[in-house]
Structure 1
Amino acid sequence: MTEKLDLEAIRREIDEADSNLINAFERRLQAVLRVAEYKKQNNLPVRDRARELKVIEKAQGKLCNKNYAPAVAGLMEEIMAIARKMEEQQISAEPVETVPLEVGCFGVEGSYSHKAMEEYFAGKNINRHYYSVFEDVVKAVKNGEIRYGVLPVENSSTGGITEVYDLVRRYDCHIAGEKCVKIEHNLMALPGAVLSGITEVYSHPQGFAQCKDFFAEYPQMKLIPYYSTSKSAEAVKESGSLHKAAVAGKQAAELYGLEILAANINYNGNNTTRFIIIANEAEHSADADKITLVIAVKHEPGSLYRVLGYFYHSGLNLTNLESRPIEGKSWEYFFHIDLVGNLADTNVQETVRMLKDNCAYFKILGNYRSDMGRER
């Protein structure tokens, strides 16, 4: 004879189970937020698929009725998807700025570095600091004088700025972001100056390199390397000479009251400089899509070829590769690599594992959002 069921009694049993389930779920979510904070502090990816599979297997092992195993697997997948979303939100959440961010850049107001800083931190409450050499920016980040530093690292016309690559690695800094700025160099001088009367021109060496075709037509102009493009404009203003000019951006001409004698003199019409935002601590955001790392390969035939194969076989796109000499080791090099991806991606995690196991040196400098204007 079939036992007569009491629906209300069954529902009370379900309600009690739900109450226990919700209490356990709330405790789990609180633990998830602590995990998110740990991952943020240690620059770890949100998703760890190997860990998830172990969690599912452990949950299924607690079942008395193994027929429920598929249902438990589905339940745990849903729970962990919710947890991942919470972790991503926690990690990418912007801290409430009760005090201004201390931010510094190379050059002075009116420089392209200043422009990159203003555009990257637009809408933020920041205190601005200016430094005359690259290394001073890096040192200020390391000693806590500023939280973020802005440095040029690559130009679409002249390539990588090698000193910056070396400094970021040597001082163990991390890359938190990037900003690409279109560069339009102009020849500028005091009001009343004429192009034919210019005998001395000041600018940063990169500025001269990006305008070499223009200056080939004016051999009478002596090119004098200076701290930065904006400092060059300032120096011309202070000189009071109608025979001196500077190569700098339009913003520098406006700031120092100079007139543009020749506009957009860089030979590459798409001249762009990529600036990196450096920090002392690693940062991570769920929507990061670019990774910068440094490797050194074993000093043996085919070592670099094999290492580059890891990226190819994982379907990863390299966007930049720069080599820098290793001090004290003739003909051995560090390789600075930019690639598209997120450290939470399975193919990225596998590639990172292979690099750690097979490189003489390996370090992740940052996983951050690319400036889409350059990447796409």
Structure 2
Amino acid sequence: MADEMKKLRVGCYGAKGSYTYEAMERQFGEREREEHYYPLFEDVLKAVSEGAIDYGVVPIENSSTGGITEVYDLIMKYDCAVVGEQLIKIEHNLLGVPGATIEDIDTVYSHPQGFAQCRPFFNEHRDWTLKPYFSTSRSAEKVAEDGKKNQAAVAGRAAAKLYGLSILKENIFFNDSNCTRFFVIGPHMEITEKSDKITLVIAVRHEPGALYHVLGYFFYGGMNMTHLESRPMAGRPFEYFFHIDVTGRLMDPSNQHTLKGLESMCTYFKILGNYPSCISEEERKEQR
């Protein structure tokens, strides 16, 4: 990370009380920092790229709804690096102004991911109007500012406490193991002895079996692939970039050899980062 004596400038998607804010808190701990909040994913990546902040935190993958594809595209667009990751348990609640009841509600605000992660609950309230908003924390902030009993937001307990809202219905998510993975973004790679996870982007020849043969390098090199996401290439229909996460260390000669062989088989190859992997909250509890 940056100079330990320097006051960090860090930014995250959303606002205080958001899950992204929790990820930022966990990543940077008690370190003195100047915090910035952004309404769009692109704002965070652009701020890192332009040097307005030292690090940015954005969600990249949810265990219930999958990869957040826009972020993959933005990391490439702004030529940023992945320098860390955090896993945060997501526990969505329905929040309203004090004195409101669930019977009062007819309009709900949330980031689209929040609605998706609580789909069965909202299927039981089809008469409600669901309004996509910037983030779950910003949704809570709006409901608090509007002060209307008919409005509610999907957000966590931290947002309820921060904005003075009541929990009208707790735990409205459908997956008890619902968690989101966040990337910590920097302007360039930062590799240490603790770096044991690699994120890279590749493209392969548009021919049968090309991806199969390329991915075989990970198997034979003993590098476990933990995530694979495809993104379409602009201007090249049905051709894709593949964003891949694997266990590995760029300091390890055998991993370097595997990746060099992989690169020789690709039409595009770029390592986005080699950083310390983050364990889940369940794994953390088991270690206590």
TM-score where L is the length of structure 2: 0.96
How many residues align? The count is 283
**Residue 291 (1) aligns with residue 195 (2):** no
| Residue of structure 2 equivalent to 1:352 | 259
Q: What SS does the corresponding residue of 2:280 show, helix, strand or coil?
A: helix
**Residue 272 (1) aligns with residue 179 (2):** yes
CA distance in 2 between counterparts of 1:96 and 1:157 reads: 37
CA distance in 2 between counterparts of 1:307 and 1:374 reads: 33
* Offset from partner CA, 1:51-108 (integer Å, 9 cap, x none): xxxxxxxxxxxxxxxxxxxxxxxxxxxxxxxxxxxxxxxxxxx665333100000001
| Residue of structure 1 equivalent to 2:87 | 180
Letter in 2 for 1:106: Y
Structure 2: which 5+ runs fail to align? 284-288
| Residue of structure 1 equivalent to 2:152 | 245
Larger strand percent: 2
| Residue of structure 1 equivalent to 2:229 | 322
Contact 2:89–2:281 (CA<8 Å) still a contact in 1? no
Contact 1:97–1:125 (CA<8 Å) still a contact in 2? no
Alignment of 1:364-375 (within 5 A): 364-373=271-280
**Residue 310 (1) aligns with residue 217 (2):** yes
Letter in 2 for 1:103: V
Q: What SS does the corresponding residue of 1:330 show, helix, strand or coil?
A: coil
**Residue 108 (1) aligns with residue 15 (2):** yes
Q: Which moved more, 1:342-351 or 1:302-311?
A: 342-351
Deviation at 1:346, TM superposition (A): 3.1
| Residue of structure 1 equivalent to 2:74 | 167
Letter in 1 for 2:64: S
* Offset from partner CA, 1:173-208 (integer Å, 9 cap, x none): 000000110000000000111111200000000000
Contact 1:296–1:335 (CA<8 Å) still a contact in 2? yes
Structure 1: which 5+ runs fail to align? 1-93
CA distance in 1 between counterparts of 2:77 and 2:280 reads: 29
CA distance in 2 between counterparts of 1:192 and 1:98 reads: 47
CA distance in 2 between counterparts of 1:211 and 1:125 reads: 35
Q: What SS does the corresponding residue of 1:372 show, helix, strand or coil?
A: coil
Contact 1:141–1:147 (CA<8 Å) still a contact in 2? yes
Match among 268, 275, 285 for residue 361 of structure 1: 268
**Residue 210 (1) aligns with residue 117 (2):** yes
Q: What SS does the corresponding residue of 1:334 show, helix, strand or coil?
A: strand
| Residue of structure 1 equivalent to 2:244 | 337
| Residue of structure 1 equivalent to 2:6 | 99
Deviation at 1:373, TM superposition (A): 2.0
| Residue of structure 1 equivalent to 2:99 | 192
Deviation at 1:123, TM superposition (A): 2.2
TM-score where L is the length of structure 1: 0.74
CA distance in 2 between counterparts of 1:375 and 1:361 reads: 37
**Residue 149 (1) aligns with residue 56 (2):** yes
**Residue 120 (1) aligns with residue 21 (2):** no
**Residue 222 (1) aligns with residue 129 (2):** yes
CA distance in 1 between counterparts of 2:279 and 2:158 reads: 24
Deviation at 1:342, TM superposition (A): 0.6
Distance change >3 Å, CA 265–CA 375, structure 1 → 2: closer
Q: What SS does the corresponding residue of 2:22 show, helix, strand or coil?
A: helix
CA distance in 2 between counterparts of 1:317 and 1:227 reads: 35
Moved over 4 A (4+): none
Instruction: Kindly name which structure, 1 or 2, has the bigger radius of gyration based on alpha carbons.
Output: 1
Q: What SS does the corresponding residue of 2:206 show, helix, strand or coil?
A: coil
Match among 275, 282, 292 for residue 189 of structure 2: 282
Q: What SS does the corresponding residue of 1:98 show, helix, strand or coil?
A: coil
Contact 1:190–1:257 (CA<8 Å) still a contact in 2? yes
**Residue 132 (1) aligns with residue 39 (2):** yes
Q: What SS does the corresponding residue of 1:343 show, helix, strand or coil?
A: coil
Letter in 1 for 2:102: L
CA distance in 2 between counterparts of 1:316 and 1:279 reads: 24
| Residue of structure 2 equivalent to 1:4 | none
Q: What SS does the corresponding residue of 2:122 show, helix, strand or coil?
A: helix
* Offset from partner CA, 1:100-158 (integer Å, 9 cap, x none): 10000000111111111011100211110000000000000011000000000000000
Letter in 2 for 1:183: I
Q: What SS does the corresponding residue of 2:190 show, helix, strand or coil?
A: coil
* Offset from partner CA, 1:328-363 (integer Å, 9 cap, x none): 100000000000111122331121111221100000
Quote the RMSD (CA, aligned, Å).
Answer: 1.3
| Residue identity (%) | 56
